[in-house]
Amino acid sequence: MAEQWSGFSYIVTNLARFIRPHEITFSGVNSTPPMLACLLAKRAYDWDFVYINVAGGVDPEPSAIPVSSSDPLLAEGSASIFANEDFYDLCTRGRMDLTFLGAAQLDGSGCANNSCIGEWAHPKVRLPGGGGGAVMLPTARRACTWRTEHSKRTLVEKLDFVTSWGGMHGVVTPIAVFVKRDGKLALQSWHPESSLDEVRQRTGFGFDATGAGPTAPPTARERAALQSLDPQGQFERDAAIRLR
């Protein structure tokens, strides 16, 4: 039986829940889930925030939702272009409230490997690289990421390579939400159709689960917002995210 709350919706919705009122929030390249999370938050929540993105948009109103999260559509309706140098400089001078960053591997302190599987100089797999990560993760006020696969090869005890240090504030997978507590990722909640046991079994690092419980289900407005962003379910199909 299909799950009641798809992994795709779980990730996008829980990324959106990391966004806070009035804060400057950034979404980058190769980042479809956080792009959708920012657009969802604009539609589902009563409060506003400053949404900036890698296409140079500032609070854009795109006429369509692009497949590429760096598409120029994401600057439509923007009254300014806040280009690549601008948002990196904003971050390093300490004024980026929240940035979303990608990660191939994460460790228990929320550091990220985006570079390689195996040894850097002779990689078994050459990965895309960290983009903004090495500069943004240690300088943004908060950084959050997602993994579409929750497994011991993505959530590891030791990274093959530390592309970005500084520790994510939040991590969302198809079955769990982690937040940073005392410098370590702690379990905040698990997918209502998963369990603490399953999260432990499928996670390569140890974590504190004090106070964790099932994730609050999506509100009607969160559901409606995601539905309006992906009316045909194309993003959901393309993402092909499974709980197990």
Quick one: which of 139, 173, 188, 194 contacts other proteins (CB under 8 A)?
139
* Stretch in the footprint of other proteins (CB under 8 A) among 89-97, 191-199, 209-217, 221-229: 89-97
**Total number of residues binding other proteins (CB under 8 A)?**
50
Q: Does 120 bind other proteins (CB under 8 A)?
A: yes
Quick one: which of 88, 181, 198, 208 contacts other proteins (CB under 8 A)?
88
Rounded to the nearest 10°, the torsion over CA 163, 90, 37, 208 is 50
Nearer to other proteins, 14 or 114 (CB): 114
* Stretch in the footprint of other proteins (CB under 8 A) among 12-20, 84-92, 149-157, 195-203: 84-92
Q: Does 129 bind other proteins (CB under 8 A)?
A: yes
Quick one: which of 6, 154, 163, 189 contacts other proteins (CB under 8 A)?
163
Q: Does 123 bind other proteins (CB under 8 A)?
A: yes
| CA within 13 Å, CB half, 227 | 8
* Stretch in the footprint of other proteins (CB under 8 A) among 38-46, 129-137, 148-156, 213-221: 129-137
* Stretch in the footprint of other proteins (CB under 8 A) among 42-50, 71-79, 172-180, 217-225: 71-79
Q: Are 200 and 155 in contact (CB under 8 A)?
A: no
Q: Does 92 bind other proteins (CB under 8 A)?
A: yes
DSSP calls for the chain: ---SS-HHHHHHHHHHTT--TT-EEEE-TT-HHHHHHHHHHHHH-SS--EEEETTS-BS---SS--SSTT-GGGGTT-SS---HHHHHHHHHTT---EEE---SEE-TT--EE-SEEE-SSSEEEE----TTHHHHTTTSSEEEEE-S--STTTB-SS-SS-SB-S--SEEE-SSEEEEEETTEEEEEEE-TTS-HHHHHHT-SS----TT-EEPPPPPHHHHHHHHHHSTTSHHHHHH-----
Contact code string over 185-204 relative to other proteins, x by CB under 8 A? --------------------
Q: Does 55 bind other proteins (CB under 8 A)?
A: yes
Q: Does 128 bind other proteins (CB under 8 A)?
A: yes
Nearest distance in Å: CB 2, other proteins: 22
Cβ neighbourhood burial of 226 (10 Å; 0-12, 13-18, 19+): buried
Nearest distance in Å: CB 188, other proteins: 24
Q: Does 166 bind other proteins (CB under 8 A)?
A: yes
Q: Would you state the structure tokens that stand for residue 64, as one six-digit string?
A: 């369509």
Q: Point out which residues bind other proteins (CB under 8 A).
A: 29-30, 54-56, 67-72, 75, 81, 83-85, 88, 91-93, 111, 114-115, 120-139, 161-166, 238
